[in-house]
Amino acid sequence: MEGLGVAANVIAVVDISFRLAEWCVQYAHDVKNARTDIEKLQKEVANFQVTIGQVKSLIEGPGGRALQASRQLGSAIEDARSTLEELERKLQPSTGRKAMSRVGWRALKWPFSSKAVEETIQHLARSRGNISFALNTDHVLPVAAGAAFDSHAEEHNPTCLPDTRVELLDDIARWIDDPDAKPVFWLNGKAGTGKSTISRTVAQLRYSHGDLGASFFFKRGEVDRGSLDKFVPTLAIQLAQSVPATALAIKNTIDTDPTIVGKSVREQFDKLVREPLSKASGAIATLSSLVIVIDALDECEQDKDIKLLISILTNTQILRPRLRVFLTSRPELPIRLGFSKVKGTYKDLILDQIPAQTVGHDIFVFLADEFRRIRDDFNITVGDERKLPSDWPGQQTLQTLTRMAVPLFIFAATVCRFIDDRNCGSPPMQLQEVLNHRHKNYGSQLGLTYGPVLSSQLIKAPKDKHEQIVRDFRAIVGSIVVLASPLSVAALSQLLDISREIIDIRLDALHSVLSIPMTFNSPVRLLHLSFRDYLVDPREKEKNEFWVDEKVTHRRLTSNCLRVMRGALRENMCGLSFPGVRRSTVDRLQLARCLAPEVQYACLYWVYHQTVVEYEQDDSQQVYRFLSTHFLHWLEAMSLIGRIGESLDILRSLASWLKGGKCARLSSFIIDAVRFIKTSLSVIDEAPLQVYSSALVFAPRKSVVRRLFEKQIPSWPSVRPQIKENWDACLSVMEGHTST
What are the tens digits of pLDDT across the range 123-136? 777 777 777 666 65
703/670 Cα distance (integer angstroms): 11
Q: Are residues 272 and 347 in the same domain?
A: yes
Contact 143, 234 (CB under 8 A): yes
The arithmetic mean of pLDDT across residues 150-158, rounded, is 88
pLDDT at 730: 42
Residue 732 lies in a domain: no
Residue 648 lies in a domain: yes
What is the domain extent for residue 469? 357-548
pTM: 0.78
What are the tens digits of pLDDT across the range 540-569? 998 899 999 999 999 999 999 999 999 999
What are the tens digits of pLDDT across the range 347-356? 999 998 999 9
For a pLDDT cut of 90, what percent of the chain falls above it? 54
pLDDT at residue 647 is higher than 80: yes
pLDDT at 198: 97
Q: Are residues 273 and 392 in the same domain?
A: no
Q: Are residues 609 and 516 in the same domain?
A: no
Least confident of 155-169, 288-302, 312-326, 330-344: 312-326
208/82 Cα distance (integer angstroms): 23
Residue 214 lies in a domain: yes
pLDDT at 4: 58
pLDDT at residue 714 is higher than 90: no
**Contact partners, residue 449, CB within 8 Å, separation at least 6:** 192, 408, 410, 411, 414, 415, 530, 534
Q: Are residues 628 and 708 in the same domain?
A: yes
Residue 734 — very low, low, confident or very high, per pLDDT cuts 50/70/90? Answer: very low
pLDDT at residue 709 is higher than 60: yes
Q: Are residues 336 and 269 in the same domain?
A: yes
Q: Are residues 234 and 281 in the same domain?
A: yes
Q: What is the CA radius of gyration of the chain?
A: 30
Which among 718, 705, 703, 695 is positioned nearest to 644, based on CA atoms? Answer: 695
What are the tens digits of pLDDT across the range 584-597? 888 888 899 999 99
pLDDT at 736: 36
CATH of the domain at 216: 3.40.50.300
Which among 644, 645, 682 is positioned nearest to 262, based on CA atoms? Answer: 645
Residue 542 lies in a domain: yes
Neighbours of 201 (CB within 10 A): 22
Residue 1 lies in a domain: no
pLDDT at residue 380 is higher than 90: yes
What angle in degrees, to the nearest 10, is found between the helix axes of 356-381 and 427-436? Answer: 150
More confident residue, 736 or 5: 5
Q: Are residues 426 and 344 in the same domain?
A: no
pLDDT at 286: 64
The arithmetic mean of pLDDT across residues 694-723, rounded, is 79
Residue 287 — very low, low, confident or very high, per pLDDT cuts 50/70/90? Answer: confident
326/294 Cα distance (integer angstroms): 6
Point out the domain boundary residue: 515, 548, 581: 548
Distance of CA 54 to the CA centre of its chain: 30
More confident residue, 312 or 60: 312
pLDDT at 496: 98
Average pLDDT of the chain to the nearest whole number: 87
pLDDT at 740: 33
pLDDT at residue 729 is higher than 60: no
Could you give the number of structural domains in the chain? 4
pLDDT at 140: 63
Least confident of 131-145, 485-499, 506-520, 567-581: 131-145
What are the tens digits of pLDDT across the range 606-624? 999 999 999 888 888 999 9
More confident residue, 658 or 480: 480
pLDDT at residue 243 is higher than 90: no
Q: Are residues 116 and 237 in the same domain?
A: no
Residue 253 lies in a domain: yes
Residue 440 — very low, low, confident or very high, per pLDDT cuts 50/70/90? Answer: confident
Residue 701 lies in a domain: yes
Q: Are residues 518 and 591 in the same domain?
A: no
Q: Are residues 263 and 370 in the same domain?
A: no
pLDDT at 29: 80
Contact 328, 297 (CB under 8 A): yes
Point out the domain boundary residue: 548, 582, 606: 548
Counting Cβ atoms within 10 Å, is residue 437 exposed (0-12), middle (13-18) or buried (19+)? middle
For a pLDDT cut of 70, what percent of the chain falls above it? 91
What are the tens digits of pLDDT across the range 168-225? 999 999 999 998 899 999 999 999 999 999 999 999 999 988 899 999 999 988 878 9
pLDDT at residue 631 is higher than 80: yes
pLDDT at 63: 61
Q: Are residues 320 and 417 in the same domain?
A: no
Residue 732 — very low, low, confident or very high, per pLDDT cuts 50/70/90? Answer: very low
CA–CA–CA angle 550, 555, 556 (5° rounding): 100
Q: Is 325 helix (H, G, I), strand (E, B) or coil?
A: strand
Distance of CA 642 to the CA centre of its chain: 19
Which among 19, 42, 46, 43 is positioned nearest to 31, based on CA atoms? Answer: 42
pLDDT at 270: 93
The dihedrals phi and psi of 581, each to the nearest 5 degrees, come to -60, 130
pLDDT at residue 427 is higher than 90: yes
In angstroms, what CA-CA distances link 232 with 62, 121, 253? 27, 28, 13
Counting Cβ atoms within 10 Å, is residue 639 exposed (0-12), middle (13-18) or buried (19+)? buried
Residue 733 lies in a domain: no
Neighbours of 616 (CB within 10 A): 11
pLDDT at residue 95 is higher than 60: no
Distance of CA 115 to the CA centre of its chain: 32
Point out the domain boundary residue: 322, 353, 384: 353
Q: Are residues 481 and 578 in the same domain?
A: no
pLDDT at residue 441 is higher than 80: no
What angle in degrees, to the nearest 10, is found between the helix axes of 550-568 and 597-611? Answer: 140
